[in-house]
Structure 1
Amino acid sequence: MDQFSRWSGVAHALLVKHVPKIKLGQVHQLLAACVGHRTYASLRAADLATLNQTRPLYVLFDEDAGLARATDLGLPVSQALWREATMALRPSGISPFWLTTISGMHRAAELTFEDTFDSRLHDMKRLAGFPDGQRATACRCHSAENDVPDSLRFDVEGEVYAFNQEESLAVPVIAIVEYPKVGRRMYGNGALASVEQHGEPRTRAPDEDDDGGEFYWMSEG
């Protein structure tokens, strides 16, 4: 089963319990609106192959657009019901990529920075000592919340870590993380477009490595 059909089946099964007359084709229209298309025909012509075959890593999923389309079609779908239906699409077994917003992409950019091996960051670590990890500390998007630019870019501030026999060091850096647009509201794999040191190294306190033993990751953003 392709991705859009899976979404449609999940959403329709939930919605039809409360809106008995809703048709599967109408659910197609609502979901098409969420990914930037006025009609399912538009989605099919422009983005369906990308969604089903190329599999973007991130989809900027506009729930409000889907709800507005329901109103246009005269469907009595409440905001709470539509929210429940769209949340049902987010588990990793249903969607193998992030369904998110520009705000949610901030965390994606931070994770891209933290998880990417980059020779420029590695060289900074080597200059300070033996290379260790890296961590994002702040993130700012170059685009407004409702924009869908051809290249989605973030300034990510963070630190790269190194150690020697005397101390552990943190080197402040700033990176631009960039995501290419692969569909109307879809983006591909992120990369570090630029990296530069952003201040002098500092000595890390011993307890900075203690994160309390808990780590939460949410692929849906």
Structure 2
Amino acid sequence: MTTIYQLMEGQWRMRVMVADDSLLFREGLARLLTERGFDVMGQAGDAAWLASLVRKDPPDVVVVDIRMPPTYTAEGLTVARELRAEHPGLGVLILSQYVETHYAAQLFEEVESCGGGGAGYLLKDRVTRLGDLESGVRRVGAGGLVLDPSVVDRLLRRRRTRDPLGELTDREREVLGLMAEGRTNTAIAKAMSVTVKTIEAHVRNIFDRLDLALTEDDNRRVLAVLAYLRR
């Protein structure tokens, strides 16, 4: 992991490992990340290979395909959960070719249970948008949450009338959707062209409507996103 001395001396480059069964994809992804200022420490073609690399020298973030050999179901998510349990500060960015909200929910639930370390779920199409890719990796590495806008759209379409989220106003749902993408209050305010104080008021209302009391043990922002994912 990155040491405090590297940060103090200004020598820090976020350390990343990449896992995908496609050699061309992972080589291309590693090259893109290197060009954007990341230190790509290693590449893996399957879950066991990734686990071996991480256990030898844990990075700040692992970027892993959700479907990997041998069954091509959810090996990437499974190994990510195992590695987070072993290394609580490890950031995990899951890449998927498909919008699979149940896998996204599992990942964010893992963040809530393990604590520490960021998490993200992006579609592979996002890789072609270098700004989105770089921003996503850096947010996860900094302990933040990132959710692909396509997943947010799918979740909004599935909202039910009896769902607690149905009590939110349109603006509050918009704020919660941007929270699920991993944005800060300042970034949300900029995206919605309002003041930060306005967003803070919306966030407080969201917490109140979802009955998320302030406690020392819970991150209400994560809990709100989890409620959003589950619905």
TM-score exceeds 0.5: no
TM tier, smaller: under 0.3
Say which one has the larger Rg.
1
TM-score when normalising by structure 1 = 0.26
